Amino acid sequence: MPRRPPPKLPERLWSDFIYDTFLHVFSTIVLLFFREVHPRSTWRVPTTGPLIIVAAPHANQFCDPLILMRVLLQDCGRRVSFLIAAKSMKRKFIGLISSMFGSVAVGRAVDEKKPGKGRIYIDDQGEDGELILKGRGTEWDKKGGLKADDLILLPTIMGEAAGAEVKEVLGPEEVRLKKPFKGPVAYKQLTGREAQDNKDKTGEKEYEGSKYSVAPHVDQSAVYEAVFKKLSEDGCIGIFPEGGSHDRTELLPLKGESILSLARCRLLIEITAGVAIMALGALVENPNCGVKIVACGMNYFHAHKFRSRAVIEFGAPVEIPAELVEKYRSGEKREAVGQVLEMVYNALSAVTVQTPDYDTLMVSDGINFFQESLLT
């Protein structure tokens, strides 16, 4: 009599088994480096329902997700799918592990940026002068030139980067920008002059312009569809809104201001706006889904030393007001997204530790607890 094949596990159980197995193996290796990983306020994390975890500062591309996944699974019983750059997913090892954890690939424009042809400059033509960008030998209207929504990036100088999106291609050597380039460094690169108020060009040589790069517009509709699907299944999505990892203890701004790296400048805009769009979009599709956003502070003390400590702190769940959902639905998307981002930034600031070391944090916690006890 032929032997019957063993019954197949349901797809969800099988994926959970793979997730738990790989997490156990890799998080054990990573946690050997740390003396202690101290989770705080995990009781604030909803154990059911759609959830978006927003974590910062982002110190290590490999350790941060593993530590956070381990804490969420052990203390909250939640498995999280992180957004990851599509470029990273193409790497054999990282791509395999990320797929095992159910990560969602995000295409990044900066991963596809290329040097632009010719040089660019601006003329001072009144208040709107900077919105018209001019070129020399650029051929922007030809095949392979520029398109609306492409990003023009200036070279990074002394850690400062600047970029502007194309609104309309006016000709081979002229485009209209959505917003002007900002900052004195960008102004000098585009005009050859130091001060923006010094517009007297008498006796000056004709400025040849600046080199530049072009990052194409990336359609993220497939990413949002994947995220909405996970949220509709009461899943948990994880995002590091700063984009790239860094070794600073303070939180980087979430609106593209004072960004240190060229890549982070564009990715920051894409991902941080994405946090709000994901939450608002899910609520527009299903107003009763109850999606929440929880801020998570990834606080490391002497992160580059062996047997260091980490404190992973969770904030109170952020619920998006119904009036912002209505604004987003009625077309006032920019205002609704901006207000949600402000809420997310404030929530992250509350869980990002500013103390210089672990002992100081513990002492400050003791003082806070004593003060609260006196008040009650």
pLDDT on residue 302: 64
Render the burial of 60-70: b for 16+ CB within 10 Å, e for the rest.
beebbbbbbbb
Query: How many degrees, rounded to 5, is the angle at CA 228 between CA 266 and CA 18?
Result: 95
Residue 103 has, within 13 A of its CA and on its CB side, a CA count of: 25
Report the alpha-carbon distance of residue 267 to residue 58 in Å, rounded: 14
Residue in the structure block whose two tokens are 């609520």: 283
Does the pLDDT at position 159 exceed 80? no
227 CB neighbour count, 10 Å cutoff: 26
Does the pLDDT at position 273 exceed 80? no
Regarding beta strands 174-177 and 163-171, do their DSSP bridges make them parallel or antiparallel, or are they unpaired? antiparallel
pLDDT on residue 75: 92
Lowest mean pLDDT among 38-42, 273-277, 282-286: 273-277
Per-residue model confidence as pLDDT tens digits over 226-271: 888 889 889 999 998 765 443 443 444 443 333 333 334 334 444 4
Contact (Cβ atoms closer than 8 angstroms) between residue 330 and residue 55: no
Segment 192-202 mean pLDDT: 61
Render the burial of 341-351: b for 16+ CB within 10 Å, e for the rest.
bebbbebbbeb
What is this structure's pTM? Answer: 0.72
Report the alpha-carbon distance of residue 75 to residue 89 in Å, rounded: 28
The structural domains of the chain, with segments of one domain joined by +, span: 33-108+218-375, 112-215
Instruction: Name 237's bridge partners.
Output: 52, 81
Across the chain, where does the E strand assignment appear? 34-40, 51-56, 80-85, 104-106, 114-115, 119-121, 132-136, 151-153, 163-171, 174-177, 213-215, 236-239, 292-301, 308-314, 318-319
Task: Name the more confident of 14 and 99.
Answer: 99
Segment 185-201 mean pLDDT: 73
Backbone Cα Rg of the chain: 24
pLDDT on residue 191: 87
Per-residue model confidence as pLDDT tens digits over 309-356: 888 899 999 999 999 999 999 989 888 988 898 888 888 888 876 555
Segment 178-199 mean pLDDT: 78
Instruction: Report domain 33-108+218-375's class.
Output: alpha beta
Q: Which range in 35-39, 159-163, 202-206 is most confidently predicted, on average pLDDT? A: 35-39
pLDDT on residue 181: 87
Q: Which range in 153-162, 240-249, 363-372 is most confidently predicted, on average pLDDT? A: 153-162
Strand order across the beta sheet in which 151-153 lies: 114-115, 213-215, 151-153, 163-171, 174-177, 132-136, 119-121
Render the burial of 283-306: b for 16+ CB within 10 Å, e for the rest.
beeeeebbbbbbbbbbbbbebeee
Does the pLDDT at position 219 exceed 50? yes
Instruction: Report domain 112-215's class.
Output: mainly beta
H helix intervals, 155-306: 184-191, 221-232, 262-285
Does the pLDDT at position 100 exceed 60? yes
Lowest mean pLDDT among 14-18, 97-101, 200-204: 200-204
Does the pLDDT at position 293 exceed 90? yes
